[in-house]
Structures are given as C-alpha cells and as structure tokens.
Amino acid sequence: MVSIAVNKGRDNVAMLGIGAYRPQRIVSNAEVCETLDSTPEWIFERTGIHNRRWISGDETIRSIAAAAGERALKNTPIERTKIGAVILCTSSWLKLTPHGAPSVASDLGLNGVAAFDLTSGCGGFGYGLGVAADLIRAGSADYVLVIGAETMTVGLDKSDRGTAMIFGDGAGAVVVGPAEENGISPTVWGSDGENAEAIAQNIDFLAFQDRAQKMQGTDPEVEPVGQMSLRMEGPKVFRWAAVTLPRALSAALENSGVAKEDIEVFIPHQANARINELMKKNLGLADGIPMANDIENTGNTSAASIPLAMEEMLVTGKAKGGQLALLLGFGAGLSYAGQVVTLPPAPKEPSF
C-alpha cells in the first residue's frame, strides 16, 4: 500500500495579533428613531445599544475588511509573506462571484495565497477561527489571516423594528499561527436548520429577479420590487439562544479542558446585551469576570462582532493579552461556534 505524505502540522496554535476597523459615522438611537417607530430609551432597554457605526463616504465592505486585516498584520510580529491563507467571514459581500477574499488578499499584498469566504452568519468568526486553527494543525498553512467583516446596513430596512435598531457595520481580524503553548481549543459548533428561517432574507435572488422582470412589463398584479433585506423573528431566536447556547458554552469548556473558574474574560457575540447577561448567569461565571459590551456603541456587526469586541477590551484594558477567554458566536443558520482562547496582545495600532 502506498502511503500519502503528510505535511508536518503544529499542535499548538494561537491568535498572534489583532486589528479592527470601525466606520466613521456614528448613528445614535435618536437618529434611528427618525425612521423607526420607537424611542432611544426603549431601544437601549431591549438591546443594550446606544450607538452603532454605519459605513459612509467611500467606505465599503472591501475597504473595511482590508483595513482591519492590515492592522492585524501590523500588530503581529511576523512578515506578511508568511501568511498562507486568508479567510473572509462575511454574509454581506455584494457578489457571489467573485467571492471577496481573493480581492481583499490582493489589497493586502497577499495576492496568490489561498483565499476563501466563509458564510455562517453571526457565528462566522468562530467558524473561521476553528478552520484556521485546523489548517495550521494539519500543515496546510503556517499562518492564516481571519477577517470578520460586515456591512449589514447596506441591505437594512430602516423601518423594520426587528432589525433596524440592531445592526451596524465593522471589521475585525486576527492572525493565527503556531505558538509555544496552545491558545485555541477545539471548536464546539452546531446548527439548527429546522428553525433557520427565524433569521432570513425576505426574498431569494431568483424571486427578486423574477419580480423585477415582471415589473418591467408593468403587470398591475405584481408587487413592487422593493428592497431585499434581512428579517428576524426576535422572540424565536431569543428562545433558541436561551436553550442552546448554555449547552454550547459548557461543551466548549469541557472540550478545552479548562474549568469555568479558570476563565478570565467572556466575549460572546454582540447580538443583545440581555442574551449575554443571561448566558453569563446560566453558565455560572463569576460576577467579577469582565464581559464584552461592545454592542453598546457598535451594535450587532454579525461576523465582525467578536473580533471587534475583543479589540475593544484589549485597547481599553478591560482584558489583557494572554488571558483565557471564552468565545461564542451565534445567529443565522441557526448556528453557533465557540472556543476557549488565549487573547492576543493589545494592538499597537487600535481602531479608535
């Protein structure tokens, strides 16, 4: 029997550097309420959000992804020529073809490396981090740049109470590579396709195209084309999260071999401050453990939220490089992904 050659992988991997980009435009609850039937106080009470960032001017998903990746590379003590793969975690790239990662890699001076998009909604960064770690452990790449980038507001229906107050734009990135001690546990992930439509586009591409073509003929029985946008059944998602996520967090701890008493920082996806408080309480984490609250001034940035929240904690001193952190992303799919990680050093070039 002929044996297949195996590249020499590395068992120990970690996040070696982090970078982020926050759009310049700050949108307050009061501004959101100009087109939404609500109040700033009600929005904060239900979501934990005061402000969020929306792209403006010449900012695009491509530009903010590249900006976050550039900062991560500058904040990592390796030559960028060692990067062997770029993973772009996003659900808001504007084209299915070409996908975004090769263009972003080219913008970063990494043209030619393996580059692919990973779409898993708000759990995207956790999926990307797991894939990057396993690529390195398998020997398929030495270093991987993982970028979570979203421009959720491009397709946002600003009159929809289920989404308009929640989402924002932004990008965060980490460089993953070999380390003396392991800094990324095995990924705990899963999905619930039976309830996937709880977070969904309001119309698929074929139906949208068909409606647009019929509108050209001014058929009076055809509904106006309108906007392709995101819809979310908030109560249904909340119930799913309340049941599923505590189990996922417990499994992440068990797979990591780390006791919950050893966790120093909790960084959940920034979907809703109430959900995060509930998860922390149900898991039994100590009250004094710092928990990410980037949602207050950044909003829900889907696949970008965990790296953005991580960067905010490191920049402000709420967390320090080398601390043990519990991560959990969750959302569309319905899907989730979590890990126990060692935090990277605070960035020398922060996003704010």
3-state DSSP helix/strand/coil % of the chain, to nearest 5: 40, 25, 40
DSSP 219-259: -TTSPP-----EEE-HHHHHHHHHHHHHHHHHHHHHHHT--
Q: Strands 83-89, 114-118: parallel, antiparallel or unpaired by DSSP? A: parallel
DSSP 8-state class, residue 83: E
- Which of 89, 122, 272, 276 does the annotation list as catalytic? 122
- 242 vs 264: CA distance, rounded Å: 22
- Which of 269, 272, 276, 293 does the annotation list as catalytic? 269
- 176 vs 344: CA distance, rounded Å: 10
CB 331, CB 199: distance < 8 Å? yes
Kindly list the distances between the CA atom of residue 201 and the CA atoms of 152, 206, 214, in Å, as whole numbers in the listed order: 12, 12, 20
Kindly list the distances between the CA atom of residue 133 and the CA atoms of 15, 85, 209, 241, 264, in Å, as whole numbers in the listed order: 9, 11, 39, 26, 22
- 308 vs 22: CA distance, rounded Å: 8
**Is position 300 annotated as part of the catalytic site?**
yes
H helices, E strands: number in the chain: 10, 13
Backbone angles phi and psi of 6, in degrees to 5: -120, 125
- 96 vs 316: CA distance, rounded Å: 37
- 236 vs 250: CA distance, rounded Å: 22
Backbone angles phi and psi of 83, in degrees to 5: -70, 125
**Is position 50 annotated as part of the catalytic site?**
no
Q: Which residues contact 224 (CB under 8 A, 6 or more apart)?
A: 215
- 93 vs 88: CA distance, rounded Å: 10
Catalytic residue numbers, as ranges: 122, 269, 300
